[in-house]
Structure 1
Amino acid sequence: MTTVLLAHGSPDARHAATLERLRARVAGPLDEAGRGSTHLVYIEHDHPPPDELGPGIADEVTVVPMLITPAFHARVDVPAAVRALGAGGAHARVTSALGGHPLLLDAVDERLRAAGHDPGSPTLLVAGGSSSGQAGQSIRRLLDAHPREGWLTMTLAAPRAGAARGRLVVPATLAEGVLHDRVAALAEANGAPFIPGGLADTDAVARLVLHRVLG
């Protein structure tokens, strides 16, 4: 039995380093729960790709898409990666992606506390966005379902004028990298405090991955 965390990948080395820390945090509990070894694979940029790991898996594999918002990758790249991971004859089970779960908001709370801020502070969550608009809708639905007073969401693809004013700006990204730094630049341009770091470096996201695998 094998667990695979399927990540997007980034040309920025900080991305893979952050996700490796997450993998290490969940590997022990998953092994103790009988889920076997835990691996990271990447859709692009980083190593290894799914087709390198797949031929060596012959039993059962649980795949966790490490995506906060649905987009092209969820619709196209994830199914292709799952097929590659089953190339050795393994039966592949795909969990829901990380998006939409309230533990992501708990992860934001952790980032705020780590930066010395009250989680009740007015906050702006900024995701990357997508051409279809699904990314923005996903993060808005999460906050609508679990409202926080003074919190707003937006995407880099569809910025909201004045949204950062009077708010702490938090990147809705799992790891530091290109998108994370673009959110930092947005905060600086608006004179707003920026909360650095990826959500994958939180206890809440580790719990979320375990929840996705173990149900």
Structure 2
Amino acid sequence: MDFEWVAIALGDVAWISLAFFLGFLARLIGLPPLVGFLATGFVLNYLGIASGEMLEKLADLGITLLLFTVGLKLNLKVLIRPQVWLVTVLHISIIIALFGAVIFSLALMSAPLFSGLDLKLSLMLAFALSFSSTVFVVKSLEEKGEIKSLHGRIAIGILVMQDLAAVIFLAASAGKFPSLWALLLFLLIPLRPLLHHLLQKPAMVNC
């Protein structure tokens, strides 16, 4: 019988425990726990330790649930505000133009890591660098209790617009289109109040 999966699972549990421990230490010194989580990832990557399949699935599930909760709390009217879509468009455009020019210039000078990049690849790399970390910002706002504030809603709205732009870009560049089954997601709209109530219960218990 193959017990290799047991060793992998125990390793994943150890890394998760280390992340929680460093997150707790970060909180003790007045830093967000996310700093400890990131430090754990940096250390494990530096040591060349690869994450197991279970850990990757848990990470994907955690991010999915976090973004799903954000979607439940976000009013769609926020996305159509000029402060949101205009800032998003200007931010992405400026970063693409600035970083694209810098990266392409480095490519023309045959700088290390940039040699061989053409204008198209330079712009694509600049486009990737124009995005912020939705998870980091959401967790920071959530810990400060500012996720429902005006600046918090606007910041999340901008991040959501960036995520939508990234999804559209990735789908278009890969030549893939959403399945018709994706339309079933609209069925969640009538269930929004119920789901929001259920997801708020754990937060109320922790308080």
Task: Give the shorter-chain TM-score range.
Answer: under 0.3
Q: Bigger radius of gyration, 1 or 2?
A: 2
**What's the TM-score, normalizing by structure 2?**
0.23
**What's the TM-score, normalizing by structure 1?**
0.23
Question: Of Structure 1 and Structure 2, which has the larger fraction of its residues in helix?
Answer: 2
Structure with higher RCO (Cα < 8 A, 6+ apart): 1
